[in-house]
Every structure is written in C-alpha cells, then in structure tokens.
C-alpha cells in the first residue's frame, strides 16, 4: 500500500500528479498540463494538451496560441475546457474539479481526488469581490496548496472603493491633464476599469494599444467595460480630463509624452511598499491587488481547515511560521518561475 499523498509530488517546475502523469501550472512544456489561470508564471504554450477553464483557454489562445491552428491548418496542441464545478477523470483514477479562485477571468483552484484523498491547488487567488471574475469558493480538503504572494502581516489591502476615490479625486484635481494608470494587462487593467464604472465614472477611458485585445476578450466573456478608446486614435487635447490605462512599462516610456500633463498612478498590491512606488516614479500609488492579503491568507486556511498546508509563490516563511504557531502542519515548496508580477 502506498504512503498517503505519494501520488502528488511537488517538483521545481510544477506539481506532478503521478498516476495521471500530468502537471499543474508547469514551468516547462509537458504532455498534459492542468492550468489554473493565464498569467505567464502559471501558463505557457507548448503543452501537448492543456486542461483549463474555457476563459483561461481563450486567454492562452490569445497570448500563447494554445489550441490554435498553425499555418498548415493543424492543431499542434489540444485544448480541453472544463467548466467551474465540472469534474473530469484523468488517467490513473484521478478526478479533477475546477473551482473559482477569484483572481482573474477564468482563474480556478483545482481539486484533485485520488484514493480517498483530496488536494486543492489554489493557483493565485483573492477573497475580495471583483466584477470581472467569479468569486473564490472555499473547498475542504486534506492538503491545501496555497500561494503566499503577500504573505507578510504588513500587507493588508484597503477597500477598493477607497482607492477608486483617490483616483477620481486626482482626476478632478487635474482637469487640463489626465491620470495615467499603470496596470497589469491581464486582470488588473480590466478590474480597474470595471471598478471605475461601478463608482459612476462613465466617461471614455483611453487605452495603450497593448491593452486592447485583452479588454475585448473580457467583453466577449460578458464583462462590461464601457466606452474604451485607443490613445493612438486621438489627439492630446481630446484626452484632457480623462483616465488612461497602460502597462506599467509604459509609465515612464516615450509613449507617455503624447498624453496631456499626466499624473502617474500605479495599481498594485506592491504600492503598499513606498520604496517600490518611488522606484517607479509613481505619484499616486493605488493599493489594488488581485491576490489575498495576509489576513485573507490566514482566514482561508482556517476556513479550509486542511490536515496539511503547502505554501508556495511568495513569502513562504512567515505563513509557514503562522501555521506552526497554530499547531497546523505545513511545508514550504520551492517552485521555480513564480515571480512577483506587477499584480
């Protein structure tokens, strides 16, 4: 008889589901990959088969050409969609169920069941309401594999309504200029736009060209973003008194010179760290994160109440210590390629 949970094996480049010979969020091309969401430190092209939610597969088709015909009309990689709540049987008698993670459009936790044992791999997740994606669901399990991007007690994210208020106040105070918001192209940009709409800002919002395709994909999946216009299609004077959304790399780029007197903002959980804001010459730090903060990480572990917690992707040591002090079994995983994104 095999040892408990010997069928699930963390490796440096991903979590190996041994009986099914498949991988969760592998950092290299494999025969069969289960993918939690479309960010580049979890998803990549080149797998023979990619299993993910329909929304994640659409994002991967856009970003990595996964499941897209090549020039000869062949389909070099197979894309297998799994809806939220749907369970599929993998080789070796492993069942996989995809459950909302609340991180970005299509993001999922993956519940794996084998030999009476239950393992949940969260990918990235958050607990705050987000109009652009399905909310996180608590799934009881034996082993809970959680991210810890903001796994330090100093990270407590403020209500997003407060950050939207700061943004709109800055806009009103700069009627002859604009506010340029740096936001990660997948997830963060669309959330900022949707939250602005929820706050009553219905004016046109201008986009850097790199944002357009992902915003349109969100709209195709039922996320209303309102009147979006490309900066490249408009004159400087037309953008006075407006909000402009661009990748963080464009904040101090030559591209920004085409904008009218811009106040530079950045939407990221890392804006809690003043030094990071200063390093990027950010005038208006907006603490908006698509990851769980410290309190949400610890609350989630309490709610899931696993027999053991495995911690990855971030500040593993502090969360590991918190588990130990609470008499919870835990271990830190050393997965490669889990980087601090612009959140």
Mean pLDDT for 255-276 is 95
Is the pLDDT at 339 greater than 80? The verdict is no
Q: Which residue's entry shows tokens 């050409």?
A: 65
Select the more confidently predicted residue: 3 or 64.
Answer: 64
- Predicted structure pTM score: 0.94
The answer on pLDDT for 265 being more than 80 is: yes
Q: Is the pLDDT of residue 159 over 90?
A: yes
> What distance in Å separates the CA atoms of residue 121 and residue 25, rounded to the nearest whole number?
10
Q: Report the pLDDT value the prediction gives residue 264, as an integer from 0 to 100.
A: 97
Beta strands in the chain (DSSP E): 8-11, 14-17, 22-24, 32-34, 49-52, 78-81, 87-90, 94-100, 108-114, 117-121, 143-148, 178-182, 205-207, 228-230, 242-246, 262-267, 284-286, 308-314, 329-332
Q: With beta carbons less than 8 A apart as the criterion, state whether 249 and 323 touch.
A: no
Mean pLDDT score, 100-122: 98
pLDDT band at 5 (very low <50, low <70, confident <90, very high): confident
- The pLDDT of residue 78 is above 60: yes
Per-residue pLDDT band at 260 (split at 50, 70, 90):
very high
pLDDT of 218-251, one tens digit each?
999 999 999 999 999 999 999 999 999 999 999 9
Query: Which tens digits make up the pLDDT trace of 25-59?
Result: 999 999 999 999 999 999 999 999 999 999 999 99
pLDDT tens readout for residues 297-322: 999 999 999 999 999 977 899 999 99
pLDDT at 337: 57
DSSP-derived pairing of the beta strands 8-11 and 178-182: unpaired
Task: Report percent pLDDT > 90 for the chain.
Answer: 87
Helices 212-220 and 188-198: angle between axes, nearest 10 degrees: 60
**Could you report the per-residue pLDDT of 187-213, keeping only the tens digit for each?**
999 999 999 999 999 999 999 999 999
pLDDT confidence of 100, banded at 50, 70, 90?
A: very high
Cβ atoms of 212 and 190 within 8 Å: the answer is no
Give Rg (Cα) of the chain.
Answer: 21
């Amino acid at each position: 008889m095999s040892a408990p949970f010997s069928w699930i094996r963390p490796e440096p480049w991903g979590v190996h589901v041994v009986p099914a010979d498949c991988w969760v969020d592998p950092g290299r091309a494999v025969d069969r990959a289960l993918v939690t969401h479309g960010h580049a430190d979890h998803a990549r092209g080149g797998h023979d088969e990619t299993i993910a939610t329909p929304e994640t597969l659409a994002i991967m088709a856009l970003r990595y050409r996964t499941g897209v015909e090549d020039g000869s009309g062949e389909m070099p990689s197979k894309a297998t969609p799994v809806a939220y709540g749907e369970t599929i049987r993998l080789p070796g008698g492993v069942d996989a169920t995809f459950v909302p993670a609340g991180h970005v459009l299509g993001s999922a936790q993956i519940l794996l069941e084998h030999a009476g044992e239950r393992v949940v791999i969260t990918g990235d997740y958050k607990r705050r309401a987000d109009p652009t994606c399905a909310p996180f669901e608590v799934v009881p399990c034996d082993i809970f594999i959680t991210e810890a991007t903001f796994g330090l007690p100093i990270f407590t994210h403020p209500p997003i309504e407060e950050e939207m208020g700061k943004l709109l106040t800055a806009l009103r105070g700069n009627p002859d200029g604009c506010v340029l918001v740096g936001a990660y192209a997948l997830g963060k940009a669309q959330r900022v736009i949707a939250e602005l709409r929820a706050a009553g800002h219905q004016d046109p919002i201008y986009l850097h060209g790199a944002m357009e395709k992902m915003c349109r994909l969100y709209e195709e999946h039922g996320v209303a973003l309102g009147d979006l216009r490309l900066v490249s299609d408009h004159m400087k004077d037309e953008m006075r008194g407006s909000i402009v959304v661009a990748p963080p790399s464009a904040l101090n780029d030559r591209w920004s010179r085409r904008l009218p007197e811009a106040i530079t903002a950045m939407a990221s959980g890392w804006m809690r760290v003043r030094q990071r804001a200063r390093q990027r010459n950010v005038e208006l730090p907006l603490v908006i994160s698509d990851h769980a903060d410290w309190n949400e990480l610890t609350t989630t572990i309490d709610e899931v109440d696993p027999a053991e917690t495995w911690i990855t992707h971030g500040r593993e040591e502090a969360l590991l210590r918190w588990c130990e002090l609470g008499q919870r079994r835990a271990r830190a995983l050393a997965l490669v390629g889990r980087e601090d994104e612009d959140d």
